[in-house]
Structure 1
């Protein structure tokens, strides 16, 4: 059996910098992840989305 976790990268919506990497369960979470996180380049909390 394979792993049920997948490594994902979060990208800032404003400046498109790839700031964070997380692991996510493939079985339970089907849609893309969207989290409000701090961006070092924008120096504010912005929406970060999962990349493919």
Structure 2
């Protein structure tokens, strides 16, 4: 899929969507991708501050 080719992390938006759905959150693949991007950005900030 095109989305998987663009994504550099180990968790794809599709996998994140499935994990979130298993926890009761219904999100689209695009929303899951945005959540992953946000978490990646937050992790970068935390590592820089550490």
Q: TM-score of the superposition, structure 1-length normalised?
A: 0.23
Q: TM-score of the superposition, structure 2-length normalised?
A: 0.24
**Structure with the higher fraction of residues in strand conformation:** 1
